[in-house]
Amino acid sequence: MDLEEVNTENNVSTLKQFVLLGFSDFPGLQAFFSGVFTIVYLIILIGNSLIITITRFDPALKKPMYFFLAHFSSMEICYVSVILPRVLFSIWTQDGTIFLLHCAIQMCFFLVLSTAESLLLAVMSYDRYVAICNPLHYSLLLNPKKCVQLVIGSWLSGMPIQIGQTCQIFALDFCSSHQIDHFFCDMPPILRLACGDTSLHELSVYVVVILAGGISFILIIVSYSKIISTILRLPKARGPSKAFSTCFSHLLVVVLFYGSATITYLRPKSLNSSTMERLLSLFYTVVTPMFNPLIYSLRNKEVIAALRKLFLRR
């Protein structure tokens, strides 16, 4: 491996490359992983692209709810494309080598997109809150200009802090080990390669995760508490079950995304395990994005109708 010695007395090296171990500890399953990840990636691309297409061209879906959903699908495609192509390349070539700069770029994009997703989920919960709890002011509070501002804010708000966090982590000195026991460049496995005491950096990771994800999660909880309270007060004639059905898809996505990510980043060190870490990371980076288009479409009659029109037209 190409290493440039900087301080031999302290056994500190400036690494030019890392090696992503990925799933190399399962040599007999490489073909299986290749097939599964290829199929999953295609499902994610096709499913989310279909949602973007129908929300763009179907007049019945020209509503703030579907405007946000289209951008959420766009984020999902970007989010997964930061990780899966690199995983597939490593499996196909049996070479997990990744330059330090490329590793930093992958981590930065992953963190920025994760933050953007959590913020957009909060925006989507606000959309449902206004639609159910304050329907008379819905078109005023969520006019086209406001919707665009909320989406741009979701995309951009996490950039400064996550770019700063990435620069902070990759400014560390790394010791002789250069093997990342993971399938992509994530913060916990990178920090484990750093020399010396990294407790301050680990604390900053926790703080950023809590700020970036916690604030969004609190906003979602507050929104849905008010939504549920309002729905329970609705007369049966107005169909509270229909209102619950409309919100269920979004809540399920929120639980899947926040649940797996929270366990990954905030679980105690005593429970750290590289295998468990990879499994949890797979869940929120690959499995959840694969199911999101199904969750949003199968429980939404307007989306199903738009898909039928799209395919019948073709």
The DSSP secondary structure of 246-267, one letter per residue, reads: HHHHHHHHHHHHHHHHHHHHHS
Kindly indicate the confidence band of residue 191, based on its pLDDT and cuts at 50, 70 and 90. confident
Written as one letter, the residue type at 168 is: Q
DSSP string, 89-110: HHHHHT--EEEHHHHHHHHHHH
CATH H-level superfamily of 17-312: Rhodopsin 7-helix transmembrane proteins (1.20.1070.10)
Pick from 132, 101, 109: which is nearest to 17 by CA?
Answer: 101
Residues contacting residue 150 through CB under 8 Å, at least 6 positions apart: 68, 123, 126
**179-180 and 17-20: which strand pairing?**
parallel
Cα angle: 79, vertex 256, 116; to 5 degrees: 35
Kindly indicate the confidence band of residue 152, based on its pLDDT and cuts at 50, 70 and 90. very high
Partnered with residue 194 across adjacent β-strands are: 174
Q: Output the pTM of the full model.
A: 0.85
- What is the per-residue pLDDT for 289? 86
Look at residue 100 and tell me whether its pLDDT is greater than 50.
Answer: yes
How many residues are given for the chain?
314
Locus of tokens 């190409």: 2
- The percent helix, strand, coil of the chain (3-state, each to 5) is 75, 5, 20
- What is the per-residue pLDDT for 4? 42
Q: Which of 177-186, 240-249, 272-281, 303-312 has the lowest mean pLDDT?
A: 240-249
- What is the per-residue pLDDT for 123? 93
- What is the per-residue pLDDT for 12? 45
Kindly indicate the confidence band of residue 239, based on its pLDDT and cuts at 50, 70 and 90. low
Exposed/middle/buried for residue 309 (C-beta within 10 Å: 0-12, 13-18, 19+) = middle
Locus of tokens 């509503």: 63
Look at residue 90 and tell me whether its pLDDT is greater than 80.
Answer: yes
The larger pLDDT score, comparing residue 300 to residue 11, is at 300
Pick from 13, 39, 1, 47: which is nearest to 174 by CA?
Answer: 13
Kindly indicate the confidence band of residue 5, based on its pLDDT and cuts at 50, 70 and 90. very low
Domain-wise residue ranges, the chain: 17-312
pLDDT digit string (tens) for 107-139? 999 999 989 998 998 999 999 899 888 888 898
Residue 182 dihedral angles phi and psi, to the nearest 5°: -160, 175
Computed on alpha carbons and rounded to an integer, the radius of gyration of the chain in Å comes to 22
Q: What mean pLDDT, rounded, does the chain reach?
A: 82
pLDDT digit string (tens) for 30-87? 899 999 999 999 999 999 999 999 998 888 888 999 999 999 999 999 999 999 999 9
Look at residue 277 and tell me whether its pLDDT is greater than 50.
Answer: yes
- What is the per-residue pLDDT for 276? 75
pLDDT digit string (tens) for 286-295? 888 888 888 7
- The total of other beta-carbon atoms located within 10 Å of residue 220's CB is 23
| Gap between the Cα atoms of 163 and 153, Å rounded | 16
The larger pLDDT score, comparing residue 119 to residue 236, is at 119
